[in-house]
Chains A and B, each alone.
Chain A
Amino acid sequence: MSLLDYFRGTRKPSASVAKERLQIILAREHSGREEPDYLPALKKEILEVVSKYVSVDLGAIQVNLERDENCEVLELNIALPEHRERDSQKRELVAHD
């Protein structure tokens, strides 16, 4: 850095911004890497089955896999469209073990 730059005052160095951004995104991508390969296919097949009975769109299913030290929880969330009948009640599909 030259003396002139010193007196002009300097911006926050962009390299440290780069490092912070990379640390965050790499950590996020690493956690995604743990995801088993079958999840997308599972999601697609469930969607096919559900759409035989109810018209749902592709974004309506969320599949999450959470991992604790000694258990894994596969969470399925299906948002059904609002019922077309006059009272337009919301229906929910409840899954029991």
Chain B
Amino acid sequence: MAKVIVVTSGKGGVGKTTTSASFATGLAMKGNKTVVIDFDVGLRNLDLIMGCERRVVYDFVNVLNNESTLKQALIKDKHCDNLFVLPASQTRDKDALTEEGVERILNELKKDFDYIVCDSPAGIEKGALMALYFADEALIVTNPEVSSVRDSDRILGILAAKSKRALNGDEPIKEHLVITRYSPKRVELGEMLSIDDVKDLLGIPLIGVIPESESVLSASNSGVPVIHDIDSNSGQAYADVVDRFMGVNLPLRFLNVEKKGLLSRIFGN
């Protein structure tokens, strides 16, 4: 049975699309047939992060309105045979997403795919609600920073109250915390909330920590999800997230400050 996973956060700019792109890519690299859907109608960006922006012909809203078939709108990834992207519409407004329409498309996708990753827009408006409504599991992307933590907490409240599973009284959505832009050095200096702080505050199980890294920007510059950058810390950290999601037990990595020489220890930077 296909699984629907929403990548959400409430706050914008914390790494939802980066996480969606790498997570979906990682699932596909493990041999799962995966589709990643951009729910950010009007502010399409997943196509850029996935590097398929020039191949967008039809979009999510076209399929909803029966202006194209699902097959015509799905874009096959350049790197993975098992991976497809369903881009958001750039021109329509977010009211284009209806519960019936989204459900119809998800049901159609469930016949062909193992995993359906829904990249949520920021906020708690229609687009974000539609992205999480049908979810079986959720990745909550959080920066170790006050506004991000508060908004993630708010989104957890919405998952528990307004999702289909919640409204039907089914088993609740399985939640996973992904901490992004983590800087061990700043945590050591007491300038940034630690992993334990964020875990305590949000009270959901942690599935991975993505360190702050230059490779994330260069990956989005070139339109190749950072998980393909296997030499980078953040690429490896995303690969770990995918493994843990698939049930592999792995220790957390990249949580400690890289060792410095004696001189820089004495004089600082």
User: Interface residues, chain A, CB within 8 Å of chain B?
Assistant: 1-5, 10, 13-16, 18-19, 21-23, 25-26, 29-30, 33
Within 8 A of A (CB), among B20-57: none
Contacts A/B (CB < 8 Å), 11 sampled: A1-B189, A2-B264, A2-B266, A13-B191, A14-B191, A15-B190, A18-B197, A19-B197, A22-B146, A29-B153, A29-B154
What does DSSP make chain B's interface, helix, strand, loop or mixed?
helix
* Interface 0/1 of B171-203, CB less than 8 Å to A: 000000000000000011111111001001100
The answer to whether B268 touches A5, judged by C-beta atoms less than 8 angstroms apart, is yes
B133 shortest CB reach to chain A, Å: 17
Chain A, interface SS category: helix
Tell me the bound Cα distance from A26 to B161 in angstroms: 17
Nearest CB of B to A59, in Å = 26
- Tell me whether A1 and B193 are in contact in the complex, defined as CB-CB below 8 angstroms, given that A22-B146, A23-B201, A26-B153 are known contacts: no
Please, how many angstroms separate the alpha-carbon atoms of A5 and B191 in the complex? Answer: 14
Picked from B188, B191, B201, B266, the residue with its CB within 8 Å of the CB of A19 is B201
With A4-B267, A5-B268 as known contacts, state yes or no: A15 contacts B150, CB within 8 Å. Answer: no
Q: A3 contacts B265, CB within 8 Å?
A: yes
A22 to B199, CA, bound (A): 12
Question: How many A-B contacts at CB < 8 Å in the complex?
Answer: 57
A34, B197: Cα distance in complex, Å: 24
Apart from the given pairs A2-B266, A22-B146, A23-B201, 14 other A-B contacts in the complex at a CB distance below 8 Å: A2-B268, A2-B269, A3-B266, A4-B268, A5-B268, A10-B190, A13-B191, A15-B187, A15-B193, A15-B194, A18-B197, A19-B201, A26-B150, A33-B161
B6 beta carbon closer than 8 Å to chain A? no
Q: Does B157 contact A (CB under 8 A)?
A: yes
Could you say which residues of chain B place their CB within 8 Å of the CB of A1? 188-189
Q: How far is the CB of B149 from chain A (nearest CB, A)?
A: 6
Bound complex: CA A16 to CA B190 (Å)? 7
Question: In whole Å, how far is A13's beta carbon from the nearest beta carbon of chain B?
Answer: 3
